[in-house]
Amino acid sequence: MATWNRPARIADCELRTLPADRRRNVLALTGALAAHVAVAGAAADRYHAAVAKLFEEPDPAAPANAPGDGPRVVGVAVAANVWRTFDYQWPDALGEPHVGQRVHVSFGKGKRTRLGFVTDTLRRPGSHPLKPVAETLDAASPFDETLWQLGQWISDYYLSPLGMTLAAMIPSAVGRHRARTETVAYLTSDRADWQNTLGPRQRRVLDELLEARNQGVEPLTVEDLRRAGEASRDTIMRLRQRKLIRLESRPVVLPELSDAAGGDLFDLNADQAAALAALGPRLDEPAFGAVVLHGVTGSGKTEVYVRAIRRVIAAGRQAILLVPEIALATQTLQRLLQRLGRVAVLHSGLTDAQRDFYYRQIRDGHAAVVVGPRSAVFAPTRRLGLIVVDEEHESSYKQDTAPRYHGRDVAVKRAALSGVPIVLGSATPSLESMHNVQTGRYELLTLPRRVRGLPMPALQIVPLRKELTPGRIELIGRTLTRKIAAALDRREQVILLMNRRGYASYVFCPSCDWQLQCEHCTRNMVFHQATQMVLCHYCQQTASLPPHCPACGGKLLLFGLGIQRIAGELARKFPTAAVARVDSDTMSSPGQFRKVFDAFGAGELDILLGTQMVGKGLDFPRVSLVGVISADTSLTIPDFRAAERTFQLVVQVAGRAGRADLPGEVVVQTLHEDEPAIQYAATHDYDGFAGWELPLRADAKLPPFSRMVRFLIRHRQSDRAREGAAAFARALAARLPAGSILWGPSEAGVLKIRGLFRHQVLVVSPRPGSVQKALAGRMEELTRGIHAEVLADVDPMNLI
């Protein structure tokens, strides 16, 4: 966690004497500096020296750089994996440059231009001729002061190149998509017309359209269709040529910002009221403060968010609510929309035109609330009053491509920069957040009971070893089978969690030990029953199942249990039950989720079988039984957070049971029944778990008691990756601050993914930001001469 000092400001009066352009520049630069100082806690004198430098009189010998006196030169952060900014000539025809403005510039080889951001409008022309900026995308900077500072902070803290970072903060559609019409596609054929000559992409597009028809949402925009079917424009055009689909142009449909906000259905209970009261003053008169709202499952956290947000809106300000992606498809969202007006929901299914529309609505203050996944933390609210992060422990808040930022931590930084409160809600707060509570950085509010005096569900741990019939490939033991039958008899509903995709995770030959591995990754391919294909979960490569062992010709065996096998077992054991499977193979769009959840809510389904997708935020009154098929899938991953993940998963999914008048029951099957994470989950004992796990982390000097930075070094050639990692580790070691520990270089958890060999170097340091501070401005130098790609991942959530 960063330290949350508000960055020092330079007195405004000093700045006013500067020409407007210069002033903006200085503000931006000092913002960057101050943010950096706030992160790194650098010595104040160095900071002041740097600031003083900004006010230095221009050197009279140097050529002045003002419009009219020769070519104007700007600094540009190009959206690419480069660690410095580049100078470009600014053509007068483009008007005045602004810091933050988006531009296209030619960069590297080839004719294509790249996105970039003006970082400096007053660079001095050097002796070399410079390439000109090709065009501007905005008339002014799309960043306000806070977001600009936030971008600099992310770049510094997460060691991610500035241009790439800024690019991630603004949807590419913004400002460029003022189209009034869009092309939509209709299905004009039946499944029977689809010949075998269709490619997999074409088939997927047709499947999506058929699904849309079944869901009553036909036509789909070509843009949506391409995204859902992972298809190119060509694919779509070929389908049209074959007369399987029809295209049509129609006016763009923009989402509505409805004003309707329903009234309160009930009064807050005492715990909720106390939590809201504790937030109170900061909601009316914004001031920074980070609050962890630890409320057990079913304690009514959402209601606290709603009331807090309403107060902020009443005070004329905007609120941002971050939720895990999947929550955007569940009833939580529907309930929120009934209670709050003028909500912009930023989900992955928006078209470019819709995204652009929402962006402007938020920026211009017409949207009062922004709900979205981690990237919504960059929503351009101009009058922010509150940020809420729901399910703050979710590791999906961490982005796993550059910039590798953590949505929750960036939200805390944004709140600090904006001087507004932030609420981090969870039934199982991350140990990072709990540690911040214990060290006094965050405040803790608790909702220790379920609403309406409802009891927590009773949880039973079932040792799988004793429950399974030897010789049978099954994973639903006797106890769980019996309880499912009983719940179905009572016409109640069941949620089952199986956190592993596919049917079987090993295809191997028992006679010669040959195993089917992906040709691009050092991983087993997983057999999927519906398609009868094997799929690599790391690179999505598919292949057909070999008829026999390619090495010895023997018979191949399918081994390892995935969710598809459980679905088969359910169908055998409960042939009349209506079961829906919810995993990323069956659910490829938010619409599909919604359909399943609606059907479950309407009682059309008896059993919801899912991966961790069913473990969050669902609130169905008729669910009386929750079964965890195997608590071991997350326990056995080679990651120091395995116990924490397991505890969270079990507590969260258990919390789906008994949320209304039916008493809830939970069965957890495991091979590790003595594991403390499971034992504490059985009694919903968060404090017990934290009290057990935190000292272990402290002893091992692991986060949250230290900070980790992981460097991944990748190359297509095994040698280059290995040598690159060794060279980088040597260069790095010479630069690391005292007290930090360097682990490696070593092979990454998975040596090869998508054909790239991966090695890693881990740095553990006692203080947040100290490694980044030591490396600030040096990444270019450190990676120079290394013929492999070097990626930094600060506070990594995933160590494979």
Q: For residue 100, give every residue at least 6 positions away whose Cβ sits within 8 Å of its Cβ, in sequence order, or none.
A: 28, 117, 118, 141, 142, 143, 148, 166
Which region among 54-62, 249-257, 300-308, 430-438 touches ligand ADP (by CB under 6 A)?
A: 300-308
Q: Choosing among Zn ion, ligand ADP, none, which partner's interface includes residue 653 (Cβ < 5 to 8 Å by kind)?
A: none
Closest approach, Cβ 798 to Zn ion, in A, equals 17
Site string for Zn ion, 550-589 (x = CB under 5 A): -xx-x-----------------------------------
Q: For residue 448, give every residue at least 6 positions away whose Cβ sits within 8 Å of its Cβ, in sequence order, or none.
A: 271, 295, 296, 299
Place of tokens 């520990």: 741
- The packing angle between helices 301-314 and 331-339, to 10°, is 30
Could you say which DSSP state residue 8 is in? P
Q: Choosing among ligand ADP, Zn ion, none, which partner's interface includes residue 611 (Cβ < 5 to 8 Å by kind)?
A: none
Q: Choosing among Zn ion, ligand ADP, none, which partner's interface includes residue 740 (Cβ < 5 to 8 Å by kind)?
A: none
| Contact criterion met (CB below 8 Å) for 623 and 656 | yes
Distance CA 440, CA 434 (A): 10
Q: Which is nearer to ligand ADP, 657 or 794 (CB)?
A: 657
Residues that contact ligand ADP, how many (by CB under 6 A): 15
Closest approach, Cβ 310 to ligand ADP, in A, equals 14
Closest approach, Cβ 549 to Zn ion, in A, equals 3
* Residue 296 binds to Zn ion (criterion: CB under 5 A): no
Closest approach, Cβ 301 to ligand ADP, in A, equals 4
Closest residue by Cα to residue 264 from 369, 345, 340, 367: 340
Q: Choosing among ligand ADP, Zn ion, none, which partner's interface includes residue 266 (Cβ < 5 to 8 Å by kind)?
A: ligand ADP
Helix (H), strand (E) at residue 485: helix 478-489
Q: Which is nearer to ligand ADP, 378 or 620 (CB)?
A: 620
* Residue 367 binds to Zn ion (criterion: CB under 5 A): no
Q: Choosing among Zn ion, ligand ADP, none, which partner's interface includes residue 539 (Cβ < 5 to 8 Å by kind)?
A: Zn ion
- Token pair belonging to 484: 């499912």
- Torsion angle in degrees (nearest 10) through CA of 267, 268, 270, 276: -140
Q: Choosing among ligand ADP, Zn ion, none, which partner's interface includes residue 705 (Cβ < 5 to 8 Å by kind)?
A: none
| Contact criterion met (CB below 8 Å) for 456 and 682 | no
Q: Choosing among Zn ion, ligand ADP, none, which partner's interface includes residue 295 (Cβ < 5 to 8 Å by kind)?
A: ligand ADP
Q: Choosing among ligand ADP, Zn ion, none, which partner's interface includes residue 272 (Cβ < 5 to 8 Å by kind)?
A: ligand ADP
Q: Which of residues 662-681 bind ligand ADP (CB under 6 A)?
A: none
Closest residue by Cα to residue 420 from 312, 287, 305: 287
Distance CA 378, CA 380 (A): 6
Q: Choosing among Zn ion, ligand ADP, none, which partner's interface includes residue 452 (Cβ < 5 to 8 Å by kind)?
A: ligand ADP
Which region among 194-202, 263-271, 497-505, 596-604 touches ligand ADP (by CB under 6 A)?
A: 263-271
* Residue 268 binds to ligand ADP (criterion: CB under 6 A): yes
Residues that contact Zn ion, how many (by CB under 5 A): 15
Closest approach, Cβ 547 to Zn ion, in A, equals 12
Closest approach, Cβ 290 to ligand ADP, in A, equals 19
Which region among 298-306, 339-347, 487-495, 707-715 touches ligand ADP (by CB under 6 A)?
A: 298-306
Phi-psi region of 694 (alpha: psi -120 to 50; beta: other; left: phi over 0): alpha
Q: Choosing among Zn ion, ligand ADP, none, which partner's interface includes residue 619 (Cβ < 5 to 8 Å by kind)?
A: ligand ADP
Q: Which is nearer to ligand ADP, 18 or 268 (CB)?
A: 268
User: C-alpha distances in angstroms, 320 versus 252, 288, 333, 408?
Assistant: 26, 15, 14, 12
Which region among 138-146, 166-174, 220-228, 541-549 touches Zn ion (by CB under 5 A)?
A: 541-549
* Residue 407 binds to ligand ADP (criterion: CB under 6 A): no
Q: Which is nearer to ligand ADP, 272 or 783 (CB)?
A: 272
Q: Choosing among ligand ADP, Zn ion, none, which partner's interface includes residue 309 (Cβ < 5 to 8 Å by kind)?
A: none
Q: Which is nearer to ligand ADP, 235 or 299 (CB)?
A: 299
The only residue of 25, 149, 297, 505 in contact with ligand ADP, by rule CB under 6 A: 297
| β-pair partners for 695 | none
Distance CA 763, CA 711 (A): 8
First and final C-alpha spacing in the chain: 22
With b for 16 or more beta-carbon neighbours within 10 A and e for fewer, the 629-647 pattern comes to bbbbbbbeeebebebbbbb
| β-pair partners for 669 | 462
| Contact criterion met (CB below 8 Å) for 597 and 329 | yes
φ, ψ of residue 359 to 5 degrees: the values are -55, -45
The only residue of 97, 298, 372, 796 in contact with ligand ADP, by rule CB under 6 A: 298
Q: Choosing among Zn ion, ligand ADP, none, which partner's interface includes residue 269 (Cβ < 5 to 8 Å by kind)?
A: ligand ADP
The only residue of 161, 286, 295, 658 in contact with ligand ADP, by rule CB under 6 A: 295
Distance CA 779, CA 767 (A): 20
* Residue 426 binds to ligand ADP (criterion: CB under 6 A): no
Q: Choosing among ligand ADP, Zn ion, none, which partner's interface includes residue 512 (Cβ < 5 to 8 Å by kind)?
A: Zn ion
Q: How many CA atoms lie within 13 A of 303 on its CB side?
A: 21
Radius of gyration of the chain (CA): 28
Q: For residue 98, give every residue at least 6 positions away whose Cβ sits within 8 Å of its Cβ, in sequence order, or none.
A: 24, 118, 121, 140, 141
The only residue of 289, 300, 590, 703 in contact with ligand ADP, by rule CB under 6 A: 300
Q: How many CB atoms lie within 10 A of CB 732?
A: 24
Q: Which of residues 613-642 bind ligand ADP (CB under 6 A)?
A: 619
Which region among 301-309, 507-515, 533-541, 701-709 touches ligand ADP (by CB under 6 A)?
A: 301-309
| Contact criterion met (CB below 8 Å) for 6 and 288 | yes
Q: Choosing among ligand ADP, Zn ion, none, which partner's interface includes residue 227 (Cβ < 5 to 8 Å by kind)?
A: none
What is the CA angle 77-161-128, rounded to 5?
A: 40
The only residue of 103, 162, 367, 536 in contact with Zn ion, by rule CB under 5 A: 536
Closest approach, Cβ 538 to ligand ADP, in A, equals 33
| Contact criterion met (CB below 8 Å) for 320 and 305 | no
Q: Which of residues 442-481 bind ligand ADP (CB under 6 A)?
A: 451-452
* Residue 269 binds to ligand ADP (criterion: CB under 6 A): yes
Omega of the bond leading into 63 within 30 degrees of 0 (cis): no
With H, G, I as helix, E, B as strand and everything else as coil, classify residue 174. coil
Place of tokens 């494979």: 800
Place of tokens 């690419």: 80
* Residue 743 binds to ligand ADP (criterion: CB under 6 A): no
Site string for Zn ion, 142-181 (x = CB under 5 A): ----------------------------------------
Distance CA 427, CA 679 (A): 17
* Residue 509 binds to Zn ion (criterion: CB under 5 A): yes
Could you say which DSSP state residue 254 is in? P
Complete edge-to-edge strand list for the sheet that includes strand 384-389: 343-345, 369-372, 318-322, 384-389, 421-426, 289-295, 443-447
- The packing angle between helices 686-699 and 431-438, to 10°, is 90
Distance CA 228, CA 588 (A): 7
Q: Which of residues 512-531 bind Zn ion (CB under 5 A)?
A: 512, 514, 518, 520-521
Closest approach, Cβ 749 to Zn ion, in A, equals 14
Closest approach, Cβ 525 to Zn ion, in A, equals 7
- Helices and strands counted in the chain (H then E): 24, 30
* Residue 303 binds to ligand ADP (criterion: CB under 6 A): yes
Chain positions contacting ligand ADP, by CB under 6 A: 266, 268-269, 272, 295, 297-303, 451-452, 619
Chain positions contacting Zn ion, by CB under 5 A: 509, 511-512, 514, 518, 520-521, 536, 538-539, 541, 549, 551-552, 554
